[in-house]
Amino acid sequence: MNNKVIQVEGLTKMFGDFAAVNAITFEVEKGEIFGFLGANGAGKTTAMKMLIGISIPTAGKANVAGFDVFTQAEEIKKNIGYMSQKFALYDDLTVKENIAFFGGIYGLPRKRIKEKSKALIEELGLEKVANKLVAALPLGWKQKLSFSVSIIHDPKIVFLDEPTGGVDPITRRQFWELIYKASHNGTTVFVTTHYMDEAEYCDRVSIMVDGKIEALDTPKKLKEQFNAANMNDVFLKLARG
Amino acid sequence: MKRFIGFIKKEFYHIFRDKRSLFILFGMPIAQILLFGFAITNEINNVDIAILDHSKDATTKEIIAKIAASEYFSIKQIIEKESDIESIFKKGKVKAVLNFEKDFSKNLIKENKASIQIITDATDPNTANTISNFVNAILQKYQKQLNKKITIVYQIIPESRMIYNTELKSVYMFVPGVMTIILMLVSAMMTSISITREKELGTMEILLVSPLKPIQVIIGKVFPYIFLSIINAIVIVLLSIFIFKMPVQGSLFLLGLESVLFIISALALGILISTVSETQQTAMMISLMGLMLPVILLSGFIFPISSMPFPLQVISNIIPAKWFIIIIKAIMLKGVGLQFVWKETLILLGMTVFFIALSVKKYKIRLE
């Protein structure tokens, strides 16, 4: 069996003459936590959009969860979860209603949604606010809920686009515990982030600079390669060229 | 299908939990219909007038009695001299003054003519016009009575009759217009806002990454508004029938079908607006400026199209509301069937198809 859940080869996205993503090539293994790093405007989000099937690549090859991004975008969508930079639950729906809605659009049977909803609320300790509008929750809770909702259909891969923007270190730590748990359960995690300390939590990281992947390895090896004390230094060395 | 139902359920949560939406959806139609029906009207009722009678003879007394007896006027004051006319207008006490010349009866009998001056306050030109028309009508009626006694050999008596709205009730004219505005507002503005809202919140992205097809997302977003617009149309028609006793002559079924057609064209416009605007504010501004103003000003709802300058008349043709108003006026007031409005219906249908095609195309471009 093929253990590579994402295979990308020479993937390119052109906007006019500008190559937002310039022939990137990488692979992600099943169950891996793959950090996708880069400065703002380096092309992270564009690359991710191609992988999740809402942007058509200009050139190259990409296979996600066993499906081709050019021809099988609909199949890909059934097998992935996605959490965007913007907090994306409905504020005017309750916690339970949000869970039911997202479970519903992924086609989970009603019974399964009920079980999932109960388990999820318990796991996140949201029993008291389960019937409250999401608007009333603190940002950190919303983000954890948002992540749990994005993997409600047990996807093969979950794509997280800067999921921890604007939350405190403790919540970020808790958030990463959720990510580890998902990874432990066999879900591959593809995460973009600005926080270099988070990069250390990843199994492997790639660093994008100006549309190209300039480095790709485990955090440990990258630090050795660039002779840096931490990922932050690695990043700075790369970004400055 | 089950996914779809879940989606629609969610849309209804959004609508019912937002006081602003609720107000626009349910408060506005009722408020508008009542406002147009009761407050904004071209009719006159018990208008205060003053009389300046220089002759005070049998004829003038008879005429004054007739005017006083009509429901349109009430005689507020009898003035004695010309100089009082201006001051009474300035005080704003009356809307009109009837000035009978000296020796009214005598002139009438001797010279076969006598004159009355009708002076109206034209700061409100519509009312002034109506008042003078109504006074004229009363005078003519009186004249006819007099002439019965005397035989005049040749005479042309114009007899005008207003049909389809015999009582000249302005509410009959406003109902089709208000219905058009409300349907446009609910369908186009509310959908464009609700779609851009998802864009603004970032949930649209999540929906597009989900297995839901874009077309399902759009249909799911507009379906509740089709439903609510139909309810609104029904409420408006019921209000006009039961509160304003407006007779709906034509087939309610045809009226319903035409309304659905118009609703769909408005929804397509709403989707179109949402594809070009990134925020709810933009969507609202475009809807108000780009849709509501033309609907109010150029559809023939308030200002008759035939009296517009030619360029505006041409422009009015591209406004779906114009055709819808023609259609529903014909159905509601004239009671005609499809054979009389098929041309307008076809135009509306053509526009609807065009807007749908355009919005689908635009929507696809956005998804790349």
- Tell me the ipTM for this assembly: 0.86
Predicted pLDDT of residue B151 = 61
Token pair of B250 as six digits:
């034509």
User: Are A105 and B212 an interchain contact pair (Cβ–Cβ within 8 Å)?
Assistant: yes
Q: Which sequence spans correspond to the domains of chain A? A: 31-53+74-239
Specify whether the CB–CB gap between A224 and A215 falls below 8 A.
no
Does A232 have pLDDT greater than 60? yes
Chain A residues with CB within 8 Å of chain B CB:
52-56, 74, 77-78, 80, 82-93, 97, 100-102, 104-107, 133, 150
Strand order in the sheet with A18-29: A18-29, A4-15, A59-64, A67-68
Which chain B positions have a beta carbon within 8 Å of A52's beta carbon? 209
Token pair of B37 as six digits:
């029906």
Which chain A positions have a beta carbon within 8 Å of B6's beta carbon? 100-101, 104-105
CA distances to B15, B49, B105, B138, B140 from B61, in Å: 64, 15, 10, 14, 16
Positive or negative, the CA dihedral B5, B6, B9, B15 is negative
Does A204 have pLDDT greater than 90? yes
Distance from CA of B225 to the nearest CA of A (A): 18
Secondary element (H or E) of residue A111: helix A110-124
Looking at chain B, list the stretches that DSSP marks H as alpha helix, in order from N- to C-terminal side: 2-16, 19-22, 28-34, 58-69, 83-90, 104-111, 125-149, 170-184, 191-201, 203-209, 214-242, 252-276, 280-286, 293-298, 310-316, 320-329, 338-367
pLDDT band, residue B167 (cuts 50/70/90): low
pLDDT in tens, B239-277: 888 887 777 888 889 999 999 999 999 999 999 998 888
Specify whether the CB–CB gap between A30 and A3 falls below 8 A.
yes
Residues in CB range of A124: below 8 A, 6 or more apart: A141, A144, A145, A148
User: Are B205 and A54 an interchain contact pair (Cβ–Cβ within 8 Å)?
Assistant: yes
pLDDT band, residue A206 (cuts 50/70/90): very high
Distance from CA of B228 to the nearest CA of A (A): 20
d(CA A206, CA A231): 11
Domains and CATH numbers, chain B: 2-40+169-362 (no CATH), 47-149 (3.40.1710.10)
Of A78, A87, A92, the CB nearest to B211: A78
User: Are B211 and A100 an interchain contact pair (Cβ–Cβ within 8 Å)?
Assistant: no
User: Are A91 and B201 an interchain contact pair (Cβ–Cβ within 8 Å)?
Assistant: yes
pLDDT in tens, B323-359: 999 998 888 888 888 888 899 999 999 999 999 888 8
d(CA B344, CA B176): 15
pLDDT band, residue A1 (cuts 50/70/90): very low
Helix pair B214-242, B170-184: axis angle to 10 deg:
160
d(CA A64, CA A48): 11
Does the global pTM surpass 0.90? Answer: no
User: Are A92 and B6 an interchain contact pair (Cβ–Cβ within 8 Å)?
Assistant: no
Which chain B positions have a beta carbon within 8 Å of A93's beta carbon? 10, 13-14
Of A92, A100, A107, the CB nearest to B17: A92
Of B18, B207, B367, the CB nearest to A92: B18
d(CA B146, CA B148): 5
Specify whether the CB–CB gap between B55 and B28 falls below 8 A.
no
Token pair of B276 as six digits:
């070009």
Which chain B positions have a beta carbon within 8 Å of A87's beta carbon? 202
Predicted pLDDT of residue B116 = 87
Average pLDDT of A76-103? Answer: 90
Mutation to test the A interface, candidates B8, B206, B207, B208, most A Cβ within 10 Å = B206
CA-nearest residue to A83 within chain B is: B206
User: Are A92 and B209 an interchain contact pair (Cβ–Cβ within 8 Å)?
Assistant: no
Which chain A positions have a beta carbon within 8 Å of B207's beta carbon? 105
Which chain B positions have a beta carbon within 8 Å of A67's beta carbon? none
User: Are B207 and A85 an interchain contact pair (Cβ–Cβ within 8 Å)?
Assistant: no
Specify whether the CB–CB gap between B110 and B103 falls below 8 A.
no
Which CATH code of 3.90.550.10, 1.20.210.10, 3.90.1150.10, 3.40.50.300 fits the domain covering A31-53+74-239? Answer: 3.40.50.300
